Structures are given as C-alpha cells and as structure tokens.
C-alpha cells in the first residue's frame, strides 16, 4: 500500500501546527525538511510526534563517515521514521550509517531532479538515468530505500537483490499546477508504478481544504492497489 507523506515546507512551528491540526486523522507521515529544521530544529520533529505523526527527516546528510554516523545516531534518538542521505557520500559513509544500531530507515538521494545534462556534462556524464542506476546499485546493501522521481521508478524494477522502498516527490493530482516541478505524475500513476510513498507539499499546503485534498490522494492510491 502506498502512503502519503505531506512535506511540511513552512518556516515556523506555528504554520506547521496549523497544517497538522487540519490533517489530523487523515495523514500519518510528514516530511521535515531543510527549511523547517533550519528554522525550528528538533522542536519541529517533536511537534509532529505530539500529533501522532511519523517523521521523514529530509536533511540529505553527506559528510565523512564519522560525522554521518553521529547525525544518524541523533536522528535515531529523535525517533524519526526515516532520514535521507546522499548516495554520493560513498560506500564507506553508507556502510557506516547503516551500522548505527538505533537508527531510522535510511533513504538515499541519487541525482537531484533539478540537475540537468548540462550540469552533469561537466563530469562527462551523458545519461542521467544510467548514473541514477549506478548510484542506486552502489547503495543497495546499505539503504532501505531511495527518493526518486516518477521517471526513475522503472530503474528499480529489476537488478536489485530486494526491491527498495521507493519515495516519490513531484506528485500532482490531475488538474493541479506543476509549479516548478518539471516531471510530475499523479498519485495513482505513482502507486501503479510501485511507489511506496508519495511526497506532496504545495497542493495540500496551499489549499483552503487540505484534508479534502489529502483524502483525495489517499482514495486515488487505494484504487490502484
């Protein structure tokens, strides 16, 4: 069953709490990302947990193995459900992170969807999809899942010892504007293509009735599985 993660892309605890109040009883998973965590720190995680929500801590860790081990331990102490880290940090960093005893599920970021062939041309990379595939294979012994776009879901369909957990942002129900997202897919398409989690922010946060939009996404997902 595909789950919905609502991205709490707001700048204060007050705004985050307004969203949590409106979505209580409908949504169980929330993403605390760089903005809210930079503004409010650990209190943002505690707020979601007070509302009974599970937290995806999307801070995209990447550093030397010792430092990443320390932050993964801190994330473990906070009791978050999952945390993201860059696969680019290398196998030693990934392995060290995976060996932390009390830790969240680790979800890897391969290539940001904002990078294009021109950026990657500086490194003589011609095919982004191949790079994503190589990075995903590199992380497979150490990570529980990957954050990937709808376009990349097919990469994970074979060649992996175990199908990783797939977390897909860039989700728009039919009729919603894509905004700055370039390659959007609907919640139903994501579910059909094997997404375990869909991440959605603005269509829910900007709505006058966020619970209604979230429920619509959940209903659309349910139809697929």
Catalytic positions are 60
Neighbours of 183 (CB within 10 A): 11
Name 143's Cβ contacts closer than 8 Å, sequence gap at least 6: 87, 94, 98, 106, 107, 108, 164
Shortest distance (Å) from residue 105 CB to ligand C5P: 16
By the rule CB under 6 A, 82 interacts with ligand C5P: no
Question: Distance (Å, rounded) from C-alpha 168 to C-alpha 225?
Answer: 17
Q: Are 144 and 163 in contact (CB under 8 A)?
A: no
Instruction: From 12-20, 68-76, 194-202, 207-215, give the range in contact with ligand C5P by CB under 6 A.
Output: 194-202
Shortest distance (Å) from residue 214 CB to ligand C5P: 12
Shortest distance (Å) from residue 99 CB to ligand C5P: 26
Instruction: From 20-28, 115-123, 197-205, 211-219, give the range in contact with ligand C5P by CB under 6 A.
Output: 197-205
Q: Are 63 and 91 in contact (CB under 8 A)?
A: no
Q: Are 204 and 6 in contact (CB under 8 A)?
A: yes
Q: Give residues 127-186 in contact with ligand C5P (rule: CB under 6 A).
A: 147, 149, 169-170, 181
Binding region for ligand C5P (CB under 6 A): 7, 9, 31, 33, 112-113, 147, 149, 169-170, 181, 199-202
């Amino acid at each position: 069953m595909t789950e919905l993660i609502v991205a709490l892309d707001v700048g204060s605890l007050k705004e985050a709490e307004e969203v949590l109040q409106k979505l209580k009883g409908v949504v169980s998973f929330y993403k605390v990302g760089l903005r809210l965590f930079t503004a409010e720190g650990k209190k943002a995680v505690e707020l979601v947990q007070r509302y009974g929500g599970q937290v995806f801590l999307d801070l995209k860790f990447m550093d030397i193995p010792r430092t990443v081990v320390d932050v993964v331990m801190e994330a473990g102490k906070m009791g978050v459900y999952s945390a993201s880290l860059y696969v680019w940090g290398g196998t030693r960093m990934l392995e060290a992170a995976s060996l932390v005893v009390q830790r969240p599920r680790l979800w890897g970021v391969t290539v940001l969807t904002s990078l294009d062939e021109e950026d990657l041309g500086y490194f003589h990379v011609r095919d982004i999809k191949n790079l994503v595939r190589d990075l995903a294979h590199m992380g497979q012994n150490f990570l529980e899942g990957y954050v990937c776009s709808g376009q990349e879901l097919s990469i994970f369909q074979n060649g992996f010892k175990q199908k990783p957990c797939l977390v897909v942002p860039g989700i728009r129900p039919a009729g919603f504007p894509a905004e700055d997202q370039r390659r959007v897919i609907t919640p139903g398409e994501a579910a059909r293509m094997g997404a375990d989690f869909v991440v959605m922010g603005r269509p829910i946060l900007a709505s006058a009735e966020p619970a209604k939009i979230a429920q619509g996404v959940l209903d659309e997902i349910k139809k697929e599985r």
